[in-house]
Amino acid sequence: MNSLFHRDLWVEILSSLKSNGARTFVTAFGVFWGIFIMVLLLSAASGFETGIKSKFKGIATNSIFIWTQKTSLEYKGMPRNRWYHFDIQDAQAIKDNIKGLRIVSPQNNFTTEIKHITKEGSFKVEGNAPEFLGQKALKLTQGRFINQKDIDQKRKIAIIGWGLIDELYEKGEDVIGSFIKIKGVNFKVVGVFKDTSINGQKNIRAQQNVHIPFNTFSQVFNFGDRVNYFFITADDDQSATELKNKIITLLQTRHKINPKDKRAIGNFDLNEQFEKFNMLFATLKIVSFFVGIMILISGVIGISNIMLIVIKERTKEIGIRRALGATPMVIKKQIILESVFLTILSGMAGVSFASLILFFVNLKIDSMDPVDLMILNPIINLPTLFTIFIILVFFGLLAGLIPANKAVKMKPINAIRTE
Amino acid sequence: MIRITDIYKSYQIGKNTLPVLKGIDFNVDKGEMVSIMGSSGSGKSTLLNIIGILDEADRGTYNLDGIEVKNLNEKIAAKYRNQFLGFIFQSFNLINYKTALDNVALPLYYQGVSRKKREEKALFYLDKVGLSNWAKHVPSELSGGQKQRVAIARALASDPKVLLADEPTGALDTKTSYGVMELLQQINDEGKTVIIVTHEPDIAAMTKRNVELKDGLIISDKIIEPVRATLYV
């Protein structure tokens, strides 16, 4: 009798809901609609997030890139408009002085002639550290990437983009182990990569780069100590954006740059961009939830309203039940459970219908090229569903409370007398 | 069974106080079949409601089978109604979306009797009122007389000490009324205490004791030889 899941109680609830089938349906529709919209909005927000984030996939987003530009202010006897260079000692200095960085990898690059047997073309060559593989969305399709031995021994090896194979090789020719000439110098190809970032997939040039060991690049192409770029990734528990100023200050000191000179050190803060996206998504989620809850509330008010009318119409029935021995608790429990049940049922129907629509949307999306899409895999996840469920129970309780209290407020004798 | 001493009851209508019962002493013993007569406004229904713990007196005492009925909270009132009293109403008051069987079983449901036992008992009482073949029908499929029989079966279902009937034949034609009265007499014959409120003299004549109310007071109370309803059916 006291159990919430007693069969008899539910038989009672179902039969009283069934006795007002059409009205039950119309009432339920408000909540159904609220949840339906909420799930669609949340899924769209989540799909948008997945879509945008997929464009960053494989990239270490907690990163900044810095490079040298002309100075714009005089400092310590140095003129303005001065060209300067980073050097390889900067890498060590950054690592030593600034805590919380995971990778500091230097890079030099240029575009030059690359030749294999008879075929040739002009492509970009990058001198990179082994750690660079973890910073960019590069996937090795054959062979290996640069390792520490390559760096230490200044080996002449190259990892080429898959887009180069068509340009430089005959069909069916072995790529690994072959040699290519970069600016007239022979390099052995030890790996082939694919740029899996969205930019890389869209841009064939990005698939035609050549990576060679940083030290080899410096020596063979006479760069000496010079470094043009640093790719710096912070530890996961650190923010690259927060460490950026420390890094820049350090480099300013090391290269006699005016601390007020904003232009001398060029930088791109990927982390900041990414954080902006995260903020955007968080905002989107909150807005979706808010709008959903607002619609849901109007649905719940509908339920509460109709329950009130139902109570009024059933005043006599409730009076009879009480004359037959139903305690106020039993009556209240039944009304509240009816309300909760109706809310959950219609809410879950809303979730199901929204899921059905999402299923078809996903089918459509899957058949399209993900590169062009801003939305990927719009779904509602289990924790969100659970939250929605809790909200439904809560609102159902709330919607049933007022009618339930009203139902038992009238004396049974007066209730029986109403016609 | 019922000991009522010096009961007063008045209703508040707007600013005016309308006295309905003005000092009633009324006792009913076990096995009695009492009719309460009186014109409308005489207070007969109010008296029945007080006996039925649906209403409470302003003053006076009410003792139901040794239990003092006073200042009960709704929970205990509901329990007493369920265990001690069976109600029969003029307009039957069946729950229209429930079958006859479920209607009869309802008081047992509130007693927490298991489903199987409930249906068994309900069917027994439906059989007693001659409607076991109608168990699965909803009230709208039943005639007035049948509805009242279902209501009587429902009132009997929890095996109450007293059966309270408020104008049980008020909505029925004469022939059907006598049928219902025959049933009530039969139930009384088996020892159940029955109190009937009516304003129909022929119905009152079928009880063992006539109590007449006027303006909130008992003006006559006499034992009579009941007319057997069987004679008319």
Q: How far apart are CA B160 and CA B14, in angstroms?
A: 37
The pLDDT confidence band at residue A303, using thresholds 50, 70 and 90, is confident
Q: CB–CB of A321 and B110 under 8 A?
A: yes
Same domain, A50 and A73: no
Say if B156 falls within a structural domain. Answer: yes
Same domain, A205 and A112: yes
Facing residue for A7 by CB, picked from B93, B110, B115: B115
Q: Over range A206-228, report the average pLDDT.
A: 93
Q: CB–CB of B79 and A16 under 8 A?
A: no
Distance between terminal CA atoms of chain B? Answer: 31
| Whether pLDDT at B31 is above 90 | yes
> Beta strand pairing status for A86-87 and B33-37?
unpaired
Facing residue for B111 by CB, picked from A16, A316, A325: A325
Question: How does DSSP classify residue B226?
Answer: P
| Predicted pLDDT of residue A115 | 93
The pLDDT confidence band at residue A278, using thresholds 50, 70 and 90, is confident
B228 sits in the region (left: phi over 0; alpha: psi -120 to 50; else beta) called beta
Same domain, A246 and A336: no
Same domain, A112 and A251: yes
Say if B43 falls within a structural domain. Answer: yes
Tell me the shortest Cα–Cα distance from B146 to chain A, in angstroms: 18
Same domain, A220 and A92: yes
Q: How far apart are CA A262 and CA B57, in angstroms?
A: 91
| Predicted pLDDT of residue A419 | 66
Chain A residues inside the 8 Å CB shell of B154: 324
| Whether pLDDT at A196 is above 70 | yes
| Whether pLDDT at B105 is above 60 | yes
Burial class (CB in 10 A: 0-12, 13-18, 19+), A360: exposed
Which domain, by its residues, includes A342? 2-56+275-417
Say if B12 falls within a structural domain. Answer: no
| Predicted pLDDT of residue A199 | 67
> What is the tally of structural domains in chain A?
2
Same domain, A296 and A413: yes
Tell me the shortest Cα–Cα distance from B136 to chain A, in angstroms: 14
Owner of token pair 């529709």: A29
By 3-state DSSP, what share of chain B in percent is helix, strand and coil, each rounded to 5? 40, 30, 35
Same domain, A326 and A208: no
Same domain, A45 and A131: no
Compute the mean pLDDT over every residue in chain A, rounded to the nearest whole number.
87
Q: Over range A127-150, report the average pLDDT.
A: 91
Higher pLDDT, A49 or B10: B10
Same domain, A342 and A378: yes
Which domain, by its residues, includes B97? 29-54+74-231
Inter-axis angle of helices A270-313 and A315-323, nearest 10: 70
Which CATH number covers residue B224? 3.40.50.300
| Whether pLDDT at A308 is above 90 | no
Burial class (CB in 10 A: 0-12, 13-18, 19+), A409: exposed
| pTM assigned to the model | 0.69
Tokens of A62: 């907690």
C-alpha closest to that of A324 among B17, B26, B154, B15: B154
Same domain, A361 and A324: yes
Q: How far apart are CA A239 and CA A169, in angstroms?
A: 43
Say if B66 falls within a structural domain. Answer: no
Q: Could you tell me the CA-to-CA distances from B206 to A69, A138, B63, B202 in Å, in that order? A: 116, 101, 27, 7
Say if B22 falls within a structural domain. Answer: no
Q: CB–CB of A325 and B78 under 8 A?
A: yes
> Beta strand pairing status for A210-213 and A157-161?
antiparallel
- Stated length of chain A: 419
A147 with A213: CB under 8 angstroms?
no
> What is the tally of structural domains in chain B?
1
Q: CB–CB of A411 and B110 under 8 A?
A: no
Facing residue for B107 by CB, picked from A1, A19, A324: A324
Domain closes at, from A247, A274, A301: A274
Q: Over range B1-28, report the average pLDDT.
A: 91
Least confident of A18-22, A34-38, A115-119, B26-30: A18-22
Say if B225 falls within a structural domain. Answer: yes
Same domain, A149 and A18: no
